[in-house]
Structure 1
């Protein structure tokens, strides 16, 4: 396993890359210098061999301006300062040297004719140097990528493992792949241990959720079923008017409790994803919700109008849709007072509107809101979550004249 931390490995990799490139560039420059020296000496030797047996002298010294080559005499008469001069046309290099006589200087002339490379050779040499530099640059880039990839390989491996894990469907193999012991004790190991602990907590939470929903589904519904059965037997017996009203209130409260239990179980359940793709008719569920909540209009002079222009079909969880519609209808029935007008339920192909009018006295000082459930029951927050779960859209608009809930699918 890795002996150093990720930070140290990256620093070491960078230092190694720079060191290798420096050595390669050093060898390249050293080789270029040696080749230049060898070439100059080879050119001088070649020129001497061509003039054998009378050997030519490339370097000559001159004490007098008049003894200089004719092409340099006019320039020498200007009394140039001490230094080195180059004459490209004459292919001469001249060194001006001071002498004891302050009135004149000495000259050393180096004839490079036949020694310096021709212009065409210069272009070839430039091309070769460019190619070498480009090759070294590519080598450095490839080396840097290779070294850095090796340095950050644990991070890439951990990222790949995490990307392949589905948090909603954790398995034993997922826990083995993310096992922190595979990533050492450096920063990557710390990150792997944190992710491992997080996955363990998620797995434990999902297991508790499955156990709870499985147990609650049976333990909570059983007493409700018993109560509803007992109420049916009571309703069949001879009851006084006051007892019948009490039984009716118990029946409604029991039904609301059953709806609440089903609503929360529907939100908590993770194992019925297959039901979120079913298709169902909207109108029967709306009619059922109206019938179940109609008792809330007892004692109120309020009309309910259903504007059904089509027979829409929605896609999702039918029970979740029924719960959402029940909440919207119940809120409309509960918050509509006598004399406030008609409750309208408008059904389109992909939308459902539940609208109830409100009096200005009841809403004095009320500020219009958009998509706000404040004052309209906890149920609207649950409706929002059910819609998000089924990829439906829900909004609520309230102003001084009316409250309109919109559910689209």
Structure 2
């Protein structure tokens, strides 16, 4: 367009001066022959190259010659040929408008295409969000059915989610069946053993038999409590058992009495330091098992003469402390807490605490081990 415009303007200028055809290009060998507007500039020995003079509408080429003191000049008069600046601005404005319009149209089209592309993903996300995983129904499976989303990547994702929900439903059903069956099958032998022990208590038993009977009774009670706790942990619902209110002191005293046989033959004192009478909200069986496990660990790992064992009850925490060294200069490595209390490790105690919103920590040094249960 620029080339055609320049040629057209030059031809039009020549037609207007017909029959005199003045050429726009002229050569000058001396400074005196140049147009008057260029003479002063030419006397400054300008460098070789192209120079433009917008006010005079002239383009000048400085050409070096054999005479080092003088150069030749080629002057191109663009008056009447070069388009005015306003025309350039109009072209620039038109080009900018076209590019801007195309940009806006492209942006709008991109948003439209993007929305149409992610619409199935949004629909799938809303369908998954409205699903109640604890109570899956046929309507939930219908809502996530993969056939509703086509055969593209979204359909593949919906199919995977659908199969996952089916597996979850099957797993929940198996878990419910197992807990309901195990609840009966595990409790029945415990009930039979308890009944047999009550009958044996009515018989004439020797001191050795009574001691053995007490051991069986304790093991049976431990097993019964453990079974009930594990069944409770395996269920999704707690049937309100985690919102019961109970006193801490009776459960601590019971745990100390039940585990005191572990100190038989050891000269170890047990001190219950009661600073408050706290009331805890949660699962009393879970709290009892946690306390029994901590007390059992303390009793098992306290050697003869390494005492006393201190159970300190505060308003918001329970501390069980046992000595592992009877002499300050005797450097013993503190033993690890037992993982056999009720068959439960400290990991299970941690889980019981997390389930009830309690916290558990174990601190040890060369002299003592402190188990801390707070609520």
TM-score by length of 2: 0.74
Is 1:261 the equivalent of 2:239?
A: no
Per-residue displacement from partner, 1:3-44 (whole Å, max 9, x unpaired)?
xxxxxxxxxxxxxxxxxxxxxxxxxxxxxx79x999xx99xx
Aligned partner of 1:196 in structure 2 is 162
Query: For the Cα contact (< 8 Å) 1:95–1:109, is it kept in 2?
Result: no
Q: 1:331-342 maps to which residues of 2 (within 5 A)?
A: 331-342=297-308
Against the structure 1 CA distance between its residues 381 and 82, is the aligned structure 2 distance closer, same or farther, given a 3 Å change threshold? closer
Is 1:110 the equivalent of 2:73?
A: no
Aligned partner of 1:228 in structure 2 is 194
Displacement, 1:140?
3.6
Q: 1:202-221 maps to which residues of 2 (within 5 A)?
A: 202-221=168-187
Rounded to whole Å, the distance in 2 between the matches of 1:59 and 1:82 is 26
Greater share of helix residues, 1 or 2?
Answer: 1
Aligned partner of 2:112 in structure 1 is 146
Query: For the Cα contact (< 8 Å) 2:305–2:326, is it kept in 1?
Result: no
Aligned partner of 1:61 in structure 2 is 24
| Gaps in structure 1 of 5+ consecutive residues | 1-32, 97-102
Aligned partner of 1:308 among 271, 274, 279: 274
Rounded to whole Å, the distance in 2 between the matches of 1:330 and 1:229 is 26
Aligned partner of 1:251 in structure 2 is 217
Aligned partner of 1:172 in structure 2 is 138
Aligned partner of 2:255 in structure 1 is 289
Displacement, 1:396?
2.1
> Helix, strand or coil: the match of 1:389?
helix
| Gaps in structure 2 of 5+ consecutive residues | 63-70
Query: For the Cα contact (< 8 Å) 2:324–2:332, is it kept in 1?
Result: no
Rounded to whole Å, the distance in 2 between the matches of 1:219 and 1:311 is 39
Is 1:388 the equivalent of 2:354?
A: yes
Query: For the Cα contact (< 8 Å) 1:93–1:110, is it kept in 2?
Result: yes
> Helix, strand or coil: the match of 2:373?
strand
> Helix, strand or coil: the match of 2:261?
helix
Which shows bigger deviation, 328-337 or 372-381?
A: 372-381
Per-residue displacement from partner, 1:188-247 (whole Å, max 9, x unpaired)?
333333333222222222221122112222332233234323423432444443443333
Aligned partner of 1:89 among 50, 55, 70: 55
Displacement, 1:325?
1.1
Rounded to whole Å, the distance in 1 between the matches of 2:48 and 2:22 is 18
Is 1:346 the equivalent of 2:312?
A: yes
> Helix, strand or coil: the match of 2:24?
strand
Rounded to whole Å, the distance in 2 between the matches of 1:59 and 1:139 is 50
Per-residue displacement from partner, 1:375-400 (whole Å, max 9, x unpaired)?
66552222122112223221223444
Rounded to whole Å, the distance in 2 between the matches of 1:339 and 1:325 is 23
The alignment yields a C-alpha RMSD, in angstroms, of 4.4
Against the structure 1 CA distance between its residues 332 and 90, is the aligned structure 2 distance closer, same or farther, given a 3 Å change threshold? same
How many residues matched? 357
Rounded to whole Å, the distance in 1 between the matches of 2:349 and 2:270 is 22
Displacement, 1:116?
0.9
Rounded to whole Å, the distance in 1 between the matches of 2:318 and 2:150 is 57
Per-residue displacement from partner, 1:86-132 (whole Å, max 9, x unpaired)?
42112456799xxxxxx9887552314995135xx977886776666
> Helix, strand or coil: the match of 1:349?
coil
